[in-house]
Amino acid sequence: MTLTADPRSRTTANPRRTRNLPADRPSSGGTTPAPAGRRPAGTPTLPAAAGLTATAWVEAVAELTRPDDVVWVDGTDAWRRTLIETMVTTGTLIPLDPELRPGSYLARSAPSDVARVESRTFICSEREDGAGPTNNWREPAVMRAELRGAFDGSMRGRTMYVVPFSMGPVGGALSKLGVQVTDSPYAALSMLTMTRVSPEVLRRVAAGEDFVPCVHSVGAPLVAADGTRTDDVPWPCNDLKYIVQFPQSREIWSYGSGYGGNALLGKKCFALRIASAMARDEGWLAEHMLLIRVTTPEGRPFHVAAAFPSACGKTNLAMLQPTLPGWKVETLGDDIVWMKPDADGRLRAINPEAGFFGVAPGTGASTNPVAVETLRKNVIFTNVALTDDGDVWWEGLTPEAPDHLVDWQGNDWTPADGAAGRPAAHPNSRFTVAAAQCPTIADDWETPDGVPVDAIVFGGRRATNVPLVAQAYSWAHGVFLGATVSSERTAAAEGKVGELRRDPFAMLPFAGYNMADHWAHWLSVGDVLAPETRPQVFQVNWFRRAADGSFLWPGFGENARVLAWMVRQVEQRRSGGHDPAHPSARPTAVGLVPGDGALDVDGLDLADDALDELFAVDPARWKAECDLTDEFFATFGERVPAVLRDQLRHLRDRLDDERLS
Ligand code: OXD
Ligand code: MN
């Protein structure tokens, strides 16, 4: 077995000849890697990283999983090229036309491995109520023993890639380190784009800095225990899957899937599930949110963090091109935000990721021209369609489909197939691309101290009830809005598309601990924020429909009008500049909505009465929704913060108040 960080010398028999070898460096405490006797190999449970150096932990994992070789990946271009070449050779990556899509590749997954598997995602807290009713729980010791069985020899015949990475700018105030070991070159390569992987990160990990250990195996060994060899396939995976988080020991073990949300462990597993547990313990927030800067025509910048359930247009909003003259929107992040109160009681935010792993279908020149521009080169596409000239296509990229394509499963496809309900690209097909390539990325998107957050937005995909925009009456009301978010089910996870599901804080599949405790944590973070600069909280719904089923609001770039109203509300709160003759907002039972003329709809071709319908609050329907909220809260029992039960009562009282409907 060799141990090297240099792709050119991975077959060397002498690891000492290679560069960047963690074992060559002392840890910060001056200790050398753990002696073999401290390694838990041979024990009936999984190796844990606690108390081990990174090198010793990697060795222990290798002893369990038995790869042919172990290589340390330090993110250099040589590594990127090596991983790509490896996958082109095995057929995992199909090179795209170098003129049409320079530096870009297409991967086709196994048809069974196209989305996150929530049914096989586990939060193994010490006690079941630590995970809460919205998570799958298994007792840690039981899960450790089960995983040991699954990972035993799971990498036989394969290479184990060790990828030390940083979530957030390396060394930044809110940043954290991780080490992912994986037998998937696709996961290793994607990690180079989605996180920060560099010789400096390797050096820090080797020097003994804390890291979150992340183990990933596709669960498809090429050599069986009896030594029989099988041929590899372009997308190895296993029908049995485990996506396991141990919040207490901050460990991640993922088995059986190569799909991004299950396999790129820095993303959902670390930056949301494990980080949310860290954040609870350390007084900050790890959230499923995008992050943008909105600059007013007067040149004043405001930062907005917005939570939407999966596949509800977060990437579109993150890359929005305002239609309102003079307004500017810059991108800081499209999926995850870490936020922490600073010494002045101001909430500061970073995007812990370095790339976008976005949903391709629906991304086109009319919906998200910035994303289309971002995807011109250096992209790994997964499960989109291939054009005859070696480019990619997906539903929504152009209004018309090409006459012939090869679909996401490698079959010939014509528009007649589309008409028959067989999409060319999988509905959850993805692009993986560096954030730095985005034309609207803010110059300072990597600022290590983060940006101050001025507004927090909760959205969902709701055909009825929820107004286009409403401002919370208070932080507690804002937490209530977050706790009661609901949306229609999408293709990003398994399940029936269209069904309504509660998705509190858009964190349902991502909270690393009891969701009700997450609400309590949000309330307590609010308490340490300075009242003058505490973010205002809003709820939005771009998806409300008229009785005939048509959308009432055009969405996309026009959402800038809603952002502009929110920013003006924040400005007004800060300056106290409220003009009673022209109120910018009017109270309703569910929150403050734009006052007459306060939402700029100039030049918009809205249907008659669309504005009335967009902001209509129907007390009867809302009371029915309150009953559902009661039922939903009941699933968390006594853990629901009393403040949120009060908020539900206040909402009911307001619904009874005729002046507010
Ligand atoms: C994602 C998701 O992939 O939320 O971002 O599922
Ligand atoms: Mn997401």
Question: Cα-flanking dihedrals φ and ψ of residue 592, to 5°?
Answer: -80, 130
Give nearest CA residue, ligand 1 atom 3.
Answer: 261
Query: Which residue would you say has higher pLDDT here, 298 or 14?
Result: 298
Question: Cα-flanking dihedrals φ and ψ of residue 456, to 5°?
Answer: -120, 135
Question: pLDDT tens digit string along 463-485?
Answer: 889 999 999 999 999 999 999 99
Q: Which atom of ligand 1 is nearest to the CA of 335?
A: 5
Residue from 268, 273, 428 to probe ligand 1 pocket by mutation (most atoms less than 8 Å from CB):
268
Question: pLDDT tens digit string along 505-534?
Answer: 999 999 999 999 999 999 999 999 999 999
pLDDT range class, residue 5, cuts 50, 70, 90: low
Question: pLDDT tens digit string along 331-388?
Answer: 999 999 999 999 999 999 999 999 999 999 999 999 999 999 999 999 999 999 999 9
22, pLDDT greater than 90: no
Q: Is 362 in the pocket of ligand 1 (CB under 6 A)?
A: no
Question: Cα-flanking dihedrals φ and ψ of residue 444, to 5°?
Answer: -100, 30
pLDDT for residue 144: 96
Q: Is 470 helix (H, G, I), strand (E, B) or coil?
A: strand
Q: Which helix (H) or strand (E) holds 483?
A: helix 475-483
Between helices 619-634 and 642-656, what is the axis angle to 10°?
160
Q: Tell me which residues are annotated as active site.
A: 312
pLDDT for residue 35: 32
Which pair of tokens denotes residue 187? Answer: 């996961």
Average pLDDT for the chain:
91
How many angstroms separate the alpha carbon of residue 242 from the centre of ligand 1?
A: 17
Q: Which atom of ligand 1 is nearest to the CA of 288?
A: 4
pLDDT for residue 7: 58
Q: Using CA atoms, how far apart are residues 530 and 571, in angstroms rounded to an integer?
A: 16
Question: pLDDT tens digit string along 172-228?
Answer: 999 999 999 999 999 999 999 999 999 999 999 999 999 999 999 999 999 998 999
Q: Is 315 in the pocket of ligand 1 (CB under 6 A)?
A: no
pLDDT for residue 607: 85
Considering every ligand atom, which ligand is closest to the CA of 116? 1
Residue from 109, 114, 116 to probe ligand 1 pocket by mutation (most atoms less than 8 Å from CB):
116
How many angstroms separate the alpha carbon of residue 593 from the centre of ligand 1?
A: 30
pLDDT for residue 495: 53
**Mean of pLDDT values over 388-411:** 98
How many angstroms separate the alpha carbon of residue 499 from the centre of ligand 1?
A: 18
Q: Which atom of ligand 1 is nearest to the CA of 430?
A: 3
What DSSP string runs through 493-522? BSS-TT-EEE-GGG-TTT-SS-HHHHHHHH
How many angstroms separate the alpha carbon of residue 332 from the centre of ligand 2?
A: 15
**Mean of pLDDT values over 265-272:** 98
Q: Is 353 in the pocket of ligand 1 (CB under 6 A)?
A: no
Residue from 335, 429, 432 to probe ligand 1 pocket by mutation (most atoms less than 8 Å from CB):
335
Q: Using CA atoms, how far apart are residues 467 and 457, in angstroms rounded to an integer?
A: 13
Which pair of tokens denotes residue 607? Answer: 């249907």
Question: pLDDT tens digit string along 543-577?
Answer: 999 988 899 999 999 999 999 999 999 999 888 77
Query: Which residue would you say has higher pLDDT here, 119 or 48?
Result: 119
CA terminus-to-terminus distance, the chain: 71
Q: Is 116 in the pocket of ligand 1 (CB under 6 A)?
A: yes
Q: Is 109 in the pocket of ligand 1 (CB under 6 A)?
A: no
636, pLDDT greater than 80: yes
Burial class (CB in 10 A: 0-12, 13-18, 19+), 545: middle
Give nearest CA residue, ligand 1 atom 1.
Answer: 310
Residues bordering ligand 2, an ion, CB closer than 5 Å: 310, 335
pLDDT for residue 30: 28
pLDDT for residue 227: 92
Single pTM value for the model: 0.93
Which pair of tokens denotes residue 584? Answer: 């910018």
pLDDT for residue 21: 41
Please check whether residue 320 is in contact with residue 556, taking contact to mean a CB–CB distance below 8 angstroms: yes
pLDDT for residue 492: 55
Give nearest CA residue, ligand 1 atom 2.
Answer: 310
Q: Is 358 in the pocket of ligand 1 (CB under 6 A)?
A: no
CB count within 10 Å of CB 620 equals 9
How many angstroms separate the alpha carbon of residue 190 from the centre of ligand 2?
A: 16
Q: Which atom of ligand 1 is nearest to the CA of 492?
A: 6
146, pLDDT greater than 70: yes
Q: What is the 3-state secondary structure (H, E, C) of 324-375?
A: CCCCEEEEEECCCEEEEECCCCCEEEECCCCEEEEECCCCCCCCCHHHHHHC
Q: Is 335 in the pocket of ligand 1 (CB under 6 A)?
A: yes
Q: Using CA atoms, how far apart are residues 616 and 318, in angstroms rounded to an integer?
A: 27
Q: Is 487 in the pocket of ligand 1 (CB under 6 A)?
A: no
Q: Is 310 in the pocket of ligand 1 (CB under 6 A)?
A: yes
How many angstroms separate the alpha carbon of residue 238 from the centre of ligand 1?
A: 21
Q: Using CA atoms, how far apart are residues 418 and 399, in angstroms rounded to an integer?
A: 13
pLDDT for residue 24: 35
Which pair of tokens denotes residue 304? Answer: 């907005």
23, pLDDT greater than 60: no
How many angstroms separate the alpha carbon of residue 426 from the centre of ligand 2?
A: 17
Of 126, 196, 200, 188, whose CA–CA distance to 167 is shortest?
A: 196
pLDDT for residue 29: 30
Q: Is 492 in the pocket of ligand 1 (CB under 6 A)?
A: yes
Q: Using CA atoms, how far apart are residues 263 and 512, in angstroms rounded to an integer?
A: 17
98, pLDDT greater than 80: yes
How many angstroms separate the alpha carbon of residue 267 from the centre of ligand 2?
A: 9
Q: Using CA atoms, how far apart are residues 60 and 50, in angstroms rounded to an integer?
A: 12
Question: pLDDT tens digit string along 295-339?
Answer: 999 999 999 999 998 778 899 999 999 999 999 999 999 999 999
Q: Using CA atoms, how far apart are residues 299 and 317, in angstroms rounded to an integer?
A: 20
39, pLDDT greater than 70: no
Q: Which atom of ligand 1 is nearest to the CA of 510?
A: 4
44, pLDDT greater than 80: no
Considering every ligand atom, which ligand is closest to the CA of 429? 1
Between helices 77-90 and 185-194, what is the axis angle to 10°?
140
Give exposure, 129-138, as e/b (b: 16+ Cβ within 10 Å): bbbbebbebb
